[in-house]
Every structure is written in C-alpha cells, then in structure tokens.
Amino acid sequence: MSEAVLELRNIARHYREGDARLDILVDVDLAIYPGETVALVAPSGAGKSTLLHIAGLLERADGGETLINSAPTSKMNDRERTSLRRSAIGFVYQFHHLLPEFSALENVVLPQMINGLGRKDAEGRAQQLLEYLRLGTRASHRPSELSGGEQQRVAIARAVANAPHLLLADEPTGNLDPRTAEHVFATLLTLARHSGLAALIATHNLDLAEQMDRRVTLRDGRVEELP
C-alpha cells in the first residue's frame, strides 16, 4: 500500500474549564491513504472539529504525532507548519468563509498567489477549477451574488486550488438544504476521487457518509471504525 497522506498517532488533546479538565481526544489513531474518502460521524461535542484542526495543523495536540505524507509535524515551528498546510492541505468549512469583497475567481486565485504562483497561472487554474465545478459563468460574481450551493462550490475550488494531497471538511453541507447538500457533496466526492485526494469529512448526514469509502466515529476520545 502507498504511504498515508494523513496519519494521526496517539493524539491527545484536552481543554481546561476552570478547575476541570476536559479530555476530548484521548488516544486517536487514524491513517488515510491517497484517493480514500473517510466520513467522520460523531455526536456534537465529541471532538470532530478538534480532530480536524489538529490534522490540518491549525491546532497543536497535547500528545502524539500528526504525520503529513509521512513527515512528523509536532517538532516543526509555526512557520514550517503553515507552509506545509498551505501546500498540502485544503479546508472546507460549514460556512464558506469566502472574502466578501472579492469575486469568486479572486477567492480561488489568492491562496495560489500566497503559495507563490504568479497571477496569470493562478487565474488560469482558478478559471479551470470553476468551470470544472460548473461555475465558469459565475467567476466574476462576489459571494453575496451567489446561491449557498454556489458559494460552497467556490469554497471547494479554493480548498483544492493549491492541489493539496489532503482535503479536510467540517460539515461542508451543514448549512445547505438537502437537495443542494446532496449536489455539493457529490461534487466534493467526484473532485476528491478525480484528483486522488485523501479526504476526511465530518458530517452528521448518514446518507452522505454512506457514499464515502470508510466511516469512522469518535468514542471516548478514540477513533473507531464504523461498518
């Protein structure tokens, strides 16, 4: 088998609330391989967002190791982690978080320029991605001029703009009506499979989770495989 894109080893994370200590992640082990789509299905408060933030190098664990393409990240400094995150990891959130004053195209161009690509190449790739997501004619529109489903598709284009190896999504369709959610989710899965991405997607929607290659949950701070 090829090497894991994401590997979490013995990850622990707790928060403090006054004198109390909340052990959210106790001993999380998880590996995701290229082209694999994995659903993270767990009750509210179980620690899904915490796990995604640690996997995405947005937050540090209290113990254990996060490996991206086999590279351990816990001893990297913040600059190294940010640089790895920008090149290897894409994020989609429940709310699109697009920059309101920029067009759809510019929202997809910006992360590429931040990652060092020239404007012309970035615009070419952004246009191509938007067309692939059937948003070619909406490229010059600002987020407020797009429907919820279109906004979320632009957010997906932005997440994959730098051709990441790992796609992380936190309830990416949680804010959409069921039909739009189904459509956006199908788009996300097609894109992930087409690009050979490893994807970890937190969702409450069991129908959507069923469409993914594997399902895992969090129980008492540990990852368990679901049938």
Ligand X SMILES: Nc1ncnc2c1ncn2[C@@H]1O[C@H](COP(=O)(O)OP(=O)(O)OP(=O)(O)O)[C@@H](O)[C@H]1O
Q: Quick one: which of 79, 126, 77 has its CA closest to 106?
A: 126
Q: Least separation, in Å, of the C-beta of 20 and ligand X?
A: 10
Size of the site for ligand X (CB under 6 A): 12
Q: Any contact of residue 158 with ligand X (CB under 6 A)? A: no
Q: Any contact of residue 24 with ligand X (CB under 6 A)? A: yes
Annotate each residue in 41-70 with x if it binds ligand X (CB under 6 A) or - if it does not, as one string: -x-xxxxxxx--------------------
- Closer CB to ligand X, 23 or 65, in the complex: 23
Q: Least separation, in Å, of the C-beta of 23 and ligand X?
A: 10
Q: Which stretch binds ligand X (CB under 6 A): 15-23, 108-116, 126-134, 177-185?
A: 15-23
Q: Which stretch binds ligand X (CB under 6 A): 17-25, 60-68, 123-131, 135-143?
A: 17-25
Residues that bind ligand X (CB under 6 A): 15, 17, 22, 24, 42, 44-50
